[in-house]
Amino acid sequence: MEELEPNKKYISWPVLALMDFVTVIGFDDLAYNFQSQGMGVITSWIIMLFLYVIPYSLMVGQLGSTFNKEGGGLTSWIRGTNGEFLGYFTAWTYWAASIPYVVDTANSLVVGLGWTFNGNASLQNHMSNGWFAFWTLVVFVVFIFTQSRFKHSLEVLSTIGGVAIFGLTVLFVFMTFAGLAMGGHIATQPFTIHTIIPKFNLHYLTTLGLLIYAMNGAELIAPFVTKMRHPNKEFPKAMIMLAAMTAFLTIFGSFSLGVFFNAYHLPKDLKMNGAYYAFQALGNQYHLGNTLLYVYALAEVFYLAALLAVLLDAMTRMLISDTGNRYMPQVLKKTNSVGLPVNGYLLTCGLSAFIMSLGIFLPSMNDIFNWLLNLNGIISPGVTCWVFFAFIKIRQDSEKYPSDYVFIKNDKTALTVGWWCLIVTAVATIFGIGPQDVVFASSTWWYELIINFVSIIVLIGLGLILPYVTRREERSTNGSAFTRLQWTGILAVIFLTIVGDLYLGGSNHAYNIHGIVALSVVGILLVILFGWKEHNLKVY
């Protein structure tokens, strides 16, 4: 018999399923993948749900139960199975994966504001790439300086906003089917069984990462597994309920998009504006004008603003608190008088600005949005590989890692499922590097391929440089890796290089690309020059 603590507050399995559901899927996720695969995405959703999402969620349940005393976080799972350094590096890669996500959130907020004020997609026709990046950066700076004042209220508001967006998504599905029942027509024609079967080719493989990006995040609910009365019985029920709700929303939501958009001839900006187009079309069908569009736009802006503030705070604090002290520089852990990790915020802003600057050479604002979204489809699944890696490690030595909840009693079968999910995720990550939404082998395709590699190398590679900075701190008599003058020079060079790149990228100079490359190379050399010499070395 399982012993229950009489005064402990337990969480029910339906509540856990709802908590996870709100964070797993949203209306934007439907539009993103609908453009990538058309109505064939319906079959992809079904395959992913049963062969990936359900086992993935149940593995997370066992990992959270195994490492319940350490909070159940991904970093603690890797640290507990593979040591301190991999624990640190997992924390870094998890944080690095958040950079494209938070930039995408800021971009989406700018787009949402455009719809809220204009009631249409005209923003992309009047805003240059440079200005799009500039206003996104302004959004960052504003929220960095204001989020600490409203942190707790925004956490609540982001949850309310998430539930509102989900509610509108469900409303969209029901109103679409009601419209069909009243004599509405399906825009996707001809509509046959072949319409919902995807083409399994190279392009399909490049879109798998975005599917996984849309459905991952189950590790966020891992700490709650140990707060259930009977995890062995109740957690599987919660995951089955989650799968059922996700199946309903993804299958019928994708079909509903096919009602309003011809899946054979989709708008090129569907990923950026698809959700707004959909609610505008739904409102027109019911003779409501733009009412539903404005309701959705306001809810989206409200949600994204709150989410961005919470993300900027949470991801920075996670980086400096849930990593190994042996590898994370003290300069990033430094807080101001009110406990804010200012240097961590600066690093977040700097890397976000760098990611934004990479996209300024793309043909349009829509291309920037699509590229950044697809970058999430590379980095996010790559980090999810750590989950399956940790699960494989605990099932290779299950006696060493006991758990109240066990996914598949037989170790060999469990390992087979674990390796399956790891391989699928790794393949999706690798093929996701191939650009989408552009003509294969075109100049834009090659440019996106290059900046995909640059983004990955910088975001992941910096995690290998930070331990070097930590060792410099340890060798210094005053605990600083660089002098004040060196830090000033390094930060000034980085700032001026990014601003210069943004300016050149938004200009029409004939040789702006050459100028960007030259400026970036000079900036890197100056950073190395400023930081090369070590001062105040300890004498042994």
- Average pLDDT of the chain, as a whole number: 84
| pLDDT computed for residue 70 by the predictor | 64
Least confident of 23-27, 184-188, 488-492, 530-534: 23-27
CATH number of 13-458: 1.20.1740.10
The whole-number average pLDDT for the span 292-300 is 91
Residue 410: its pLDDT value, please? Answer: 92
pLDDT top residue among 428 and 537: 428
**In terms of C-beta density within 10 A (0-12 exposed, 13-18 middle, 19 or more buried), how is residue 455 classed?**
buried
DSSP conformation letters of 143-166: HHHHHHHHHHHHHHHHHHHHHHHH
CA 202 from centre of chain: 23
pLDDT for the residue 1? 40
pLDDT on residue 187: 93
| pLDDT at residue 350 in the model | 81
Enter the tokens of residue 140: 């960052």
Q: What is the percent of the chain with per-residue pLDDT over 90, rounded to a whole number?
A: 28
Residue 333: the pLDDT is: 77
Q: Is residue 134 scored above 90 in pLDDT? A: no
Provide the pLDDT for residue 153. Answer: 63
**Rounded to whole angstroms, how far apart are CA atoms 96 and 83?**
20
The pLDDT value recorded for residue 64 is: 81
Measured distance CA(308)–CA(397) in Å, rounded = 40
Q: Are 300 and 290 in contact (CB under 8 A)?
A: no
DSSP states along 189-236: -S--GGGGS---SHHHHHHHHHHHHHH--GGGGGGGGGGSS-HHHHHH
Task: Indicate whether 40 pLDDT > 90.
Answer: yes
C-alpha span between 9 and 492 (Å, rounded): 51
Confidence of residue 500 (pLDDT cuts 50, 70, 90): confident
Give the pLDDT score at 505: 64
Please state the domain extents for the chain.
13-458, 476-539
- In this predicted structure, the answer to whether residue 2 has a pLDDT above a threshold of 50 is no
pLDDT digits (tens, 9 = 90+) for 204-215: 999 999 998 888
pLDDT tens-digit readout, 254-273: 999 999 999 999 999 999 99
pLDDT band at 276 (very low <50, low <70, confident <90, very high): very high
Pairwise CA distance, residues 66 & 231, whole Å: 12
Q: Is the peptide bond before 190 cis (omega within 30 degrees of 0)?
A: yes
